[in-house]
């Protein structure tokens, strides 16, 4: 009968060990879930910071491009104004020469 009692003790001990293992597995799962949730929150925080930094960089780049466009526009306007002034001077000179030729032609070679 002793072996039947020893078998029952072993069975009870195994059931207790199984219950302990189930608790350990459950606690490990809870711990893992907590770690995963913490990692998820940290990843979301990192992603949010990166997004904010990227938005700032985009704004900085836009501002830089806008400044370059403004400078190019000013330079183009200055170049256009300079070219227009040069064309005006040439047109006036051509007009004076054309008027002189017209007068000379009207007066003829003896004029």
Q: Note whether residue 63 is domain-resident.
A: yes
Residues 84 and 78: their CA atoms lie apart, in Å, by 10
Q: Note whether residue 105 is domain-resident.
A: no
Q: Note whether residue 39 is domain-resident.
A: yes
Q: Note whether residue 74 is domain-resident.
A: yes
43-53 pLDDT, tens digit each: 999 999 999 99
70-109 pLDDT, tens digit each: 999 999 999 999 999 999 999 999 999 998 898 988 888 7
8-22, 32-46, 50-64: least confident range:
8-22
Cβ(104)–Cβ(111) under 8 Å? yes
The confidence score (pLDDT) of residue 8 equals 87
Q: What is the count of structural domains for the chain?
A: 1
- How many Å separate Cα 29 from the centre of its chain? 39
Residues 63 and 69: their CA atoms lie apart, in Å, by 10
Q: Note whether residue 99 is domain-resident.
A: no
Entry pTM: 0.52
């Amino acid at each position: 009968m002793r072996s039947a009692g020893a078998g029952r003790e072993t069975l009870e001990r195994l059931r207790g060990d199984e219950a302990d293992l189930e608790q350990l597995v459950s606690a490990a799962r809870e711990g893992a879930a907590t770690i995963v949730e913490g990692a998820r929150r940290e990843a979301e925080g990192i992603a949010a910071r990166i997004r904010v930094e990227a938005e700032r960089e985009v704004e900085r780049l836009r501002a830089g491009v806008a400044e370059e466009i403004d400078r190019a526009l000013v330079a183009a306007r200055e170049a256009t104004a300079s070219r227009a002034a040069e064309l005006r001077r040439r047109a006036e000179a051509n007009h004076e020469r054309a008027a002189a030729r017209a007068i000379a032609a009207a007066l003829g070679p003896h004029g």
